[in-house]
Structure 1
Amino acid sequence: MKILAIDTSNYPLGIALLEDDKVLGEYITNIQKNHSIRVMPAIEALLKDCDTKPADLTKIVVAKGPGSYTGVRIGVTIAKTLAWSLNIPLTGVSSLAVQAASAGKYFNGYLSPLFDARRGQVYTGLYRYENGKLMNIREDQLLLSKNWAEELTQQPENILFLGNDAAIHRQQIEDIMGEQAIFSGITEMNPRPAELALIGKDMEPEDVHAFVPNYIRLAEAETKWLEENKKQKL
């Protein structure tokens, strides 16, 4: 089994190729450049370096959000196109779960991956490893980082915060949680696409045509359109 994993849900661009239980290759960058231009060349280069043809792939796994609306949409669109054209299964994985898995395997406590959502808000969830398996303790959600930190003080264990955006909210979280809040190092901040492939390896496939991203909230333009449309009907 050869699995291609694609993550363009945030600034980091991640591509991985997994064969059974071996990571054949990974490509990761964390730069503010257009994913729509870079992702296909990255996939082509990785497959070429790993002596793999598209026809050799047996599954596509994609980070389905939350995250950047444009980034999530790019990754999902490419994943759906590849899965449909190659006639192979497609699986979507929470982008937050990928972030949690990228540095939390050996942490004895809860994991809180964070993506900044502006205006003091974060996309986050609560995870932990149990018997070697990543478990979702609190579902992915959007809320104020202040409120999230206050909620987490009720947990009986330390919390490991992960992700490049964690630094944006670090001071406020530490002011509320004190030593209960632990932050991963900079080499653990980027979500690893190999972890994405591993999580999605045994998950049930999606219906390629019905599969959609998980934005958690509507884009601002969509919200305004719905508001205007509602006014016109009144």
Structure 2
Amino acid sequence: MKTLCMDTTNKYLVVGLYEDGRLICGSAEESWKRQSETLFPTLIGHMQKAGWESEDLDEVVITDGPGSYTGVRIAMTLAKVLCTQRSLPLYTISSLQLYAGLEKQALALMDARSHRAYVAMLDQGELLQPETVLDLDDIRALVQEKQLRVYGDAHLLGMESCPFDLLANFASLRPFYRPVENVHTLTPRYLKDQSAYHLEIK
């Protein structure tokens, strides 16, 4: 099973080629606001290095948000074209799931501007509640109260992010892939502000 995984929702450009869950070739590099220019040549470069043709692909996996309004659409557009042309199955995961992977008692966050962030609490890959948008002060209080490990844009809280490996997380999160029933109707997930966010860690 040959799988193409892509994420362009935030500051990273993540492109990975996997065979039966094993990373063959890939990269996860900061490419803020340049993903639209670099995604295709990066993909072509990895395909050539792996010796793959587009006809070799069996499935595509992407993040569908939350994230940059433009960024989410970049990988999604390419995935739609590939899956439509080749009738390939398409799967999605949350961009916040991708940051935290299978870590326990994790909080993943991503800059949403204006002193806010997209945020999710996760445990071993499972979203404990739907992602939301919160004020940074509320997130900081949540982290302190629950003693959570923070992944992603932790600098927004004046903290260092726990180490994460986006390429490895794509593979480990396979049990959480969501199949897309209709590729043509797939749309990015954008979040609204929430006034309260109460979660219990399992």
TM range, normalised to the smaller chain?
0.7 to 0.9
**Is 1:128 the equivalent of 2:103?**
no
Which shifted more, 46-55 or 28-37? 28-37
Partner deviation per Cα, 1:1-47 (whole Å, 9 max, x = no partner): 11100111111100001111311111121133511111011111111
Distance across 2 between alignment mates of 1:128 and 1:201: 14
Partner deviation per Cα, 1:194-227 (whole Å, 9 max, x = no partner): 4224424773420101111112149xxxxxxxxx
Q: CA deviation at 1:59?
A: 0.5
For structure 2, the residue ranges without an aligned partner over 5 or more in a row are 194-202
- Output aligned runs, 1:152-171, within 5 Å: 152-155=143-146, 158-163=147-152, 165-170=153-158
Q: CA deviation at 1:193?
A: 3.4
- Closer, same or farther: CA 77–217 of 1 in aligned 2, 3 Å: farther
Q: Which residue of 2 aligns with 1:115?
A: 110
Q: Which residue of 2 aligns with 1:211?
A: 186
The amino acid of 1:161's aligned partner reads V
Identity, % of aligned pairs?
27
Answer whether contact 2:9 2:67 (CA < 8 A) is retained: yes
Answer whether contact 1:26 1:194 (CA < 8 A) is retained: no
Helix, strand or coil: the match of 1:138? coil
Distance across 2 between alignment mates of 1:86 and 1:110: 39
Q: Which residue of 1 aligns with 2:49?
A: 49
TM-score, length basis structure 2: 0.86
- Closer, same or farther: CA 30–204 of 1 in aligned 2, 3 Å: closer
Distance across 2 between alignment mates of 1:140 and 1:30: 23
Aligned-residue RMSD, C-alpha? 2.1
Helix, strand or coil: the match of 1:139? coil
Distance across 1 between alignment mates of 2:93 and 2:169: 10
Distance across 1 between alignment mates of 2:23 and 2:132: 31
Distance across 2 between alignment mates of 1:201 and 1:69: 27
Distance across 2 between alignment mates of 1:98 and 1:148: 19
The amino acid of 1:85's aligned partner reads Q
TM-score, length basis structure 1: 0.75
| Alignment length (residue pairs) | 192
Helix, strand or coil: the match of 2:113? coil
Q: Which residue of 2 aligns with 1:147?
A: 138
Answer whether contact 2:132 2:192 (CA < 8 A) is retained: no
Distance across 1 between alignment mates of 2:95 and 2:108: 9
